[in-house]
């Protein structure tokens, strides 16, 4: 079931088209990656979803009905540019912002105690925000974003400035929130994080959506028949490759083994390919090289830019 849907959204700013008939569909209880180069239009779409600005045309729906101002209370938004009050004490500010989102003071204090203990920031409750490191401030902002348990969470570069340990902590919490029923829109330039936590992605480039789909299906779509094998160093691989017409890309000797990267040139299945290889070589390993999302991102954006020239 769709939780949020945008259809043919257009947004212009002073003669510049920021979004050009962009449509996305975010399934309930999933992590949706909103991707694109700087200036592509991602932030504009996020601002429209948060009703910070309005589209010039297009339709938005939420939980199966027309999107309205009342739905803002069901959204939690962590912007890339953090916005805590520097001179205000951490705990006081967290309670205040939780109450703005409709929580009672009692419920806010109870929930904040849980989150501050989980993130190990209890000692900072009575400190001013300006006394916290950037990472600590981001933890507080994350807590404030999720504390009222919104149906839709929007994270814009949530791992910016985090060390690997705290990045992993936030990834774990994001996936746990999904498992507990939250739907998440996740915007980042870190394609490694996209592969780890996203179910579905949309890629926007120069105001237009240029790619959309399940992340595993997209990676399958962009694979190019490249394989990597390891065999014994003394194996006569040149003859095997010439016989079957494989396109040799790389090879190197590693001790007693030879690593070979090649591309098949006809339409045989992986099983047929493996049969041909094992009939002639002692294989130590065999794997198909699937492109990662960073490679897909670069390829799709470059192709889209070439078409616009």
* pTM across the whole model: 0.89
- Per-residue pLDDT tens digits for 198-229: 999 999 999 999 999 999 999 999 999 999 99
Residues pairing with 213 in the sheet: 201
Averaged over 58-87, what is the pLDDT? 89
Sorted by where each begins, the domain ranges of the chain are 2-220, 224-288
Average of per-residue pLDDT across 226-248: 87
The rounded percent of the chain whose pLDDT value lies above 90 is 68
Model confidence at 309, pLDDT cuts 50, 70, 90, reads low
Q: What is the mean pLDDT of residues 252-269?
A: 88
The model's confidence at residue 81, banded by pLDDT at 50, 70 and 90, is confident
| 224-288: CATH superfamily | ACT domain (3.30.70.260)
Q: What is the pLDDT of residue 110?
A: 95
* pLDDT average, residue stretch 135-150: 91
Over residues 166-188, the pLDDT tens digits come to 899 999 999 999 999 999 999 98
40 pLDDT above the threshold of 70: yes
pLDDT(127) > 80: yes
Whether the pLDDT of residue 75 is over 90: the answer is yes
Mean residue pLDDT of the chain comes to 91
pLDDT for 47 = 94
Cα–Cα distance measured from residue 135 to residue 142, given in angstroms and rounded to the nearest whole number: 11
Find the helix packing angle between 90-100 and 134-146, rounded to 10°. 30
2-220 maps to which CATH number?
Answer: 3.40.50.300
Instruction: Find the mean pLDDT for residues 56-71.
Output: 92
Asked if the model's pLDDT at residue 280 lies above 80, the reply is yes
Q: What is the pLDDT of residues 248-260, one digit of tens each?
A: 899 899 889 999 9
């Amino acid at each position: 079931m769709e939780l949020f849907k945008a259809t043919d959204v257009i947004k212009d700013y002073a003669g510049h088209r920021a979004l050009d008939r962009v449509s996305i569909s975010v399934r309930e209880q999933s992590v949706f990656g909103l991707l694109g180069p700087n200036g592509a239009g991602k932030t504009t779409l996020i601002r429209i979803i948060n009703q910070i600005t309005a589209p010039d045309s297009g339709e938005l729906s939420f939980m199966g009905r027309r999107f309205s101002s009342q739905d803002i209370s069901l959204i939690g938004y962590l912007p890339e540019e953090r916005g805590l009050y520097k001179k205000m004490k951490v705990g006081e500010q967290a309670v205040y912002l939780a109450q703005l989102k409709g929580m009672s003071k009692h419920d806010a204090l109870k929930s904040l105690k849980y989150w501050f203990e989980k993130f190990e920031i209890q000692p900072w409750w009575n400190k001013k925000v300006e006394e916290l490191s950037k990472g600590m401030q981001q933890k507080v902002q994350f807590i404030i974003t999720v504390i009222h348990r919104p149906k839709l969470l929007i994270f814009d570069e949530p791992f910016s400035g985090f060390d690997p340990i705290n990045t992993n902590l936030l990834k774990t919490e994001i996936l746990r929130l999904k498992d507990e029923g939250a739907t998440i829109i996740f915007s980042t330039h870190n394609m490694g994080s996209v592969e780890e936590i996203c179910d579905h992605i949309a890629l926007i480039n120069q105001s237009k959506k240029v790619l959309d789909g399940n992340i595993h299906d997209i990676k399958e779509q962009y694979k190019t028949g490249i394989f990597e094998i390891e065999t014994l160093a003394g194996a006569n691989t040149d003859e095997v490759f010439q016989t079957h017409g494989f396109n040799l890309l790389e090879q190197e000797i590693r001790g007693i083994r030879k690593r070979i990267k090649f591309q098949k040139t006809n339409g045989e299945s992986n099983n047929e390919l493996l049969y041909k290889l094992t009939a002639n070589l002692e294989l130590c390993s065999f794997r198909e090289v699937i492109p990662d999302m960073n490679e897909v991102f670069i390829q799709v954006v470059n192709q889209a830019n070439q078409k616009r020239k």
